[in-house]
Structure 1
Amino acid sequence: MAKPDKNAPRRPDARLPKGMRDIGPDELRQTQAMLDKIRAVYERYGFEPLETPAFEYTDALGKFLPDSDRPNEGVFSFQDEDEQWLSLRYDLTAPLARYVAENFQDMPKPFRRYATGSVFRNEKPGPGRFRQFTQFDADTVGAESVAADAEMCMLAADTLEALGIPRGQYVIKVNNRKVLDGIMEAVELGGEENASKRTTVLRALDKFDRLGLDGVKALLGPGRKDESGDVTKGADLSTEQITRLAEFLEMAVGSSGGVNEAFLIPSKGSFYGDASIDGWNELGFLEELIRKAGYGQDRIRIDPSVVRGLEYYTGPVFEAELLIPATDEKGNPVRFGSVGGGGRYDDLVARFTGQKVPATGFSIGVSRLQAALNLIGRAPAPTLGPVVVTVMDKDQIASYQKFVQTLREAGIRAELYLGNPKKFGRQLEYADKRGSPVVVIQGSNEREAGQVILKDLVEGAQAAAAIKDNKEWKETRAAQVTVPEAELVSAVREILARHS
């Protein structure tokens, strides 16, 4: 055995970066099916497509991420040849603000756009939490009316139903950051000097439904250690401030986890600063709009526990939550949490122009929603693989390729087996791995008769489960038919229709 050459260059390890994942064809096709359904709803609402680059100048993106205790403020950054800092986008909204600022004079107002693509977060990865994931956004820029926010809530509800989630198994929860700003004032956390601490507090409140009151109180205080032993630094509030915020959460959310309706009336609470009044008025108008449009509380409801972690929200904020009971592979109950959200961000474009430009938007977390739909068996069915034309005789490859082309010209996905045809069983194994519903077979006998054999792999797999021995298999030729070459397309279509 030859000794390894110590001077040979070291081969790189084939390994994924932490927090990233490879995605195979079945999941990609499933994602595309979801995107098509979301796009259809967004376009029905009058939104137009827009694509912006995957990275922007760092100062254009801004520092709005909730996970600001990570290096690079939660984003992945690098320098270009001019030593200017660039960052991968962490959402699709900040790039939109830059686009609007550059093109504001030439665009229709309001400007309605949708966009989908990967976004990147330099955050601690975990189970189901990746550093690259897909979002699908809709935004209206230049509309100050709360009617634009109400429309986003209705869009969210319609999108979830288009994806197959029945009414009553999801809810769009709505709050207003102005109400929360008033609460921040009431606990002496208003003003620019408290901006960083206020963000930490809002992040803590946003985790109420996941961590419960004790977990939130820990984050409002010195911090909290999670199950892995990692410590999240807290806001270091005073005991009095923590007590008042805890009272707000307990009053806002009933013991059953639902909204305490009495607390929706501003005069009922002593937790509000002056900033809250406009927020409550906007929520009242928003609720009137959605109710008159036919959206009941089973679909969209006011919920003062909704916070949203991003700092740039200035008005109504909303979250889409699945209510479907589910368990993981170990039988443990699973809570999906938010699968989408958004809100009003009237100051984001002003960072570039100095002028207030009202805007509101909603974003579907496609990756998270897809994982949830798969867990409950509601995701779109995987697309059938291509028809595989097998090779029985090497000297007849041109004839086999003609079958492939005939199927393709008829609009049917098809391919010629390009591996070593010596062992026919391996061709069937290949077709099975490709998810092929049917294979085309022609030996010398079929060629002389002007026929082809079509083997239905889906029905064949089902029949094989009931066949007891090899003799029975040979006698039954499970799920196999012989048809004239002229009927190849129609016969294949019949099999595809049976399984699509």
Structure 2
Amino acid sequence: MAKDKSTKLKARMPRGFADRGPGELAGTREMLETIRKVYELYGFEALETPFIEYTDALGKFLPDQDRPNEGVFSFQDDDEQWLSLRYDLTAPLARHVAENFDRVPKPFRSYRAGWVFRNEKPGPGRFRQFMQFDADTVGAPTVAADAEICMMAADTLEALGIKRGDYVIKVNNRKVLDGVLEAIGLGGDENAARRLTVLRAIDKLDKVGTAGVRDLLGEGRWENPEAKSGDFTKGAGLSNEQADRVLAYVQAGVPVWENGAAVAAEHGDVTAWIETERETWFGQDFGDVSREFQINNAWTIKVLKKEFADNALALEGLNELEEIQALAARTGYFADRIRIDPSVVRGLEYYTGPVFEAELTFEVKDEKGRPVRFGSVGGGGRYDGLVGRFRGEQVPATGFSIGVSRLASALSYLKADAKPEFGPVVVVVMDRDQTAHYMGLVARLRKEGIRAEMYLGNPKNLGNQFKYADRRNAPCVVIQGSDERASGQVQIKDLIEGAKAAAAITDNAEWRESRPAQFSCPEAELIAKVKEVLDHHGVPHGDKLG
């Protein structure tokens, strides 16, 4: 009788989501542990918030939220209240602090790791579910808290194996940006939506370039600009003069030592300025290279202060940046690690002061030899109004979020030569009626902290058992037939060494005779011999159970 195909389900994954295998999970686990250690070193403590919050608690901070399920995934509870999957880890933290305001210590320093969800159009490298790892300080009004977050972000990337020079923590201030927008006539509540459109246009600078940002500041931009095809993003509607002023600000942070002649022509002699300002800006002598990086941050602030001398809001933001740069420089974090960069805006609306972005600057090749640059892998900033929405008063807060999935992808390129993640030792089944005995061998291995499993498929075909062990990336297999059991012996096949030997064997007869990397030992020595194989290849094994 023919099967009814109409009842057969199609196995398919929703767009913007991904399955993750053991190798990726192991790498992520190791990365999260490294981040956790750095965060705890800075005095932050763990906190976990739920995946789901009331929609009004999350606030309307994502684009296109004319109805509750735009930007976020939302549904109504049985009491008709709107609930949403969290879109970041900051809004739930604000709710937690506000709800427990009288009980938590202030400043309240916490870290959180978990999945967040965005109801947005998926694309290459753009997922609807991804993991973040945040650290936040709530209740500290001083910009020293912002400077410390930037230092911690730099230390975290270096702890993960990213070399100095292969990353930079970029810092800007929303107050300066608000001052710029005020100067071009976009101040006031009536222009709030246009201001946000401008900020999101600037935030795409690393993706679409200066020309793309100019389009987004003006009438808008096509997904394929040359052909004027694909999706169209409506722009902020700025005039050419307004767009020029915004772009001039965004591009003000050019490194002095890379463009010395142009800087000198426009703003005066850098060398003379250094001599008059040395004590104010530099203090300690960390060598010529560090001195250059100190010059860059200090000079960027000097240029911007000259540009916005008559704008009180912009000057307030620049004074905060000046303090962050001074604190960072005094502790050895110069512009090679923490850099003042006017192009950083961050796309979320709730930021109120300093904003930061962690960018990877190294370039690698993908599997097709094409250049890949990862760009931003994390960011954050000050959000003094987010907790206050629940309390009717400003509550100072600042924090930083690492995009775990994106950073893990970047680290996989850096660690391309790292050893693979090995699976368990596999005990093959030679005699079906001896299942209990084979389980006993597995139990002995596990008790000694060795990952192990007995083959649970059909044991009839020994070749299939070895294929299974290969697919599990097992470092070795344990073999014991009736003859070995009668003589108190076991066979151990080192699959790692065997694969190396197999590469040099071309004749099947030679293969059958040599049985590369397979040896016999007394059953009493099973644990010791397996550990020798694991240690030889650097495969970790844990502590004894019990």
**Which one of 4, 14, 17 corresponds to residue 14 of structure 2?**
17
Task: Tell me the SS of whatever aligns to 1:105.
Answer: coil
Offset at 1:262?
4.3
Hey, what does 2:305 align to over in structure 1? 267
Report the Cα distance in structure 2 between the residues aligned to 1:280 and 1:352, rounded to whole angstroms: 29
1:437 to 475, 494, 515: 475
The correspondence of residues 278-357 of structure 1 with structure 2, limited to 5 A, is 278-357=316-395
- Secondary structure at the aligned position of 1:155 is classed as helix
- What whole-Å deviation, never above 9, does each CA across 1:221-249 have from its counterpart, x for those lacking one? 11111137111111112232122212223
The correspondence of residues 25-104 of structure 1 with structure 2, limited to 5 A, is 25-66=22-63, 72-104=69-101
Query: In structure 2, what residue type is equivalent to 1:264?
Result: I
C-alpha change, 1:70 and 1:248, in structure 2 (3 Å) is farther
Q: Distance in 2 between matches of 1:247 and 1:208?
A: 13
Query: 1:105-124 maps to which residues of 2 (within 5 A)?
Result: 105-124=102-121
**Aligned residue in 1 for 2:234:** 233
Whether the 8 Å contact between 2:68 and 2:74 is mirrored in structure 1 is no
The residue type equivalent to 1:39 in the other structure is: R
Q: Which residue of 1 aligns with 2:218?
A: 221
Q: 1:306 touches 1:317 (CA, 8 Å); kept in 2? A: yes
Aligned length: 497
Written as runs of structure 1 = structure 2, the 5 A alignment for 1:203-222 is 203-222=200-219
Change (3 A) 1:145 1:251: closer
Q: CA deviation at 1:378?
A: 5.4
Q: Who is 1:413 aligned against?
A: 451
Tell me which moved more, 355-364 or 251-260: 251-260
* Distance across 2 between alignment mates of 1:166 and 1:123: 34
Whether 1:187 and 2:188 are equivalent positions in the alignment is: no
Tell me the secondary structure at the aligned position of residue 335 of structure 1.
strand
1:178 aligns with one of 175, 180, 184: 175
Q: Alpha-carbon deviations, 1:78-109, whole Å to 9, x = none?
A: 11101111111000000000000000100111
Deviates more, 1:237-246 or 1:200-209: 237-246
- Alignment check: 8 A CA contact 2:55 2:68 kept: no
Amino acid at match of 2:205: F
Contact kept, 8 Å, 1:186 with 1:271, in 2: the verdict is no
State how far apart, in whole Å, the 1-side matches of 2:199 and 2:473 are: 47
2:106 aligned counterpart, secondary structure? coil
Structure 1 residues not aligned, in runs of 5+:
none
TM-score, normalisation: structure 1: 0.95
Question: Match for 1:363 among 388, 401, 406?
Answer: 401
Contact 1:66–1:203 (CA<8 Å) still a contact in 2? no
Amino acid at match of 2:200: R
| Alignment partners' CA distance in 2, 1:333 and 1:350 | 45
State the distance in 2 between where 1:3 and 1:451 align.
52
**1:490 maps to 2:487:** no
Contact (CA 8 Å) 2:215, 2:235: kept in 1 or not? Answer: yes
**Is the Cα contact below 8 Å between 2:308 and 2:315 reproduced in 1?**
no
Q: What is the match of residue 449 of structure 1?
A: 487
Shift of 1:29: 1.4
Distance in 1, Cα, partners of 2:526 & 2:397: 56
Distance (Å, rounded) in 2 between the aligned partners of 1:456 and 1:336: 38
Q: SS where residue 521 of structure 2 aligns?
A: strand
Quote the offset at 1:275 in angstroms: 0.7
The CA distance in 2 between the partners of 1:231 and 1:145, in whole Å, is 42
Once the two structures are TM-superposed, the CA of residue 485 in structure 1 deviates from its matched residue by: 1.1
Residue 271 to residue 281, structure 1, CA distance change in 2 (3 Å): closer
Shift of 1:383: 2.8
Q: Which range is displaced more, 255-264 or 100-109?
A: 255-264
Match for 1:396 among 431, 434, 448?
434
Match of 2:274 in 1: none
CA shift, 1:491, in A, is: 1.2
| Partner Cα separation in structure 2 for residue 72 and residue 186 of structure 1 | 35
Q: 1:70 to 1:368 in 2, by over 3 A?
A: farther
**In 2: Cα distance, 1:281 partner to 1:101 partner:** 30
The change in CA–CA distance for 1:246 and 1:383 in structure 2 (over 3 A counts) is same
Instruction: State the partner residue of 1:133.
Output: 130
Q: What's the TM-score, normalizing by structure 2?
A: 0.87
Give me the whole-angstrom Cα distance separating, in 2, the residues matched to 1:360 and 1:165.
24
Letter in 2 for 1:241: Q
Whole-angstrom CA distance in 2 between matches of 1:269 and 1:378? 46
1:140-192 Cα shifts (integer Å, max 9, x gaps) = 11111111111111111111111111111111111111111111111111222
Deviation at 1:375, TM superposition (A): 3.2
Partner amino acid, structure 1, of 2:230:
G
Task: Tell me how far 1:477 sits from its aligned partner.
Answer: 1.7
SS at match of 1:214: helix
Note the C-alpha offset of 1:10: 3.4
- Aligned match for 1:470, one of 504, 508, 523: 508
**Contact 1:66–1:199 under 8 Å retained in 2:** no
Q: Confirm or deny: 8 A CA contact 2:114 2:133 kept in the other structure.
A: yes
**1:179, 1:272 within 8 Å by CA — same for their partners in 2?**
no
Q: Quick one: structure 1 residues 50 and 387, their matched pair in 2 at CA, closer, same or farther if it must change by over 3 Å?
A: same
Unaligned residue ranges in structure 2 (runs of 5+): 260-292, 540-546
Report the RMSD for the aligned CA atoms in angstroms. Answer: 2.1
| CA positional deviation for 1:305 | 1.2
Determine whether 1:153 maps to 2:150: yes
Tell me the secondary structure at the aligned position of residue 347 of structure 1: coil
Aligned pair partner of 1:142 in 135, 139, 143 = 139
Shift in Å, 1:254: 6.5
Structure 1 position 12, deviation (Å): 3.2
Does the 8 A contact of 1:89 with 1:119 survive in 2?
yes
Q: Write the distance in 2 (CA, Å) between the matches of 1:316 and 1:137.
A: 17
CA distance in 1, matches of 2:176, 2:379: 18
**Residue 277 of structure 2 aligns with which residue?**
none
Pairwise CA distance, 1:267:
3.4
Q: Give deviations 1:381-431, integer Å, cap 9, x for gaps.
A: 543201111101111111111000001111111111011111101001101
Q: Is residue 383 from structure 1 mapped to residue 421 from structure 2 by the alignment?
A: yes
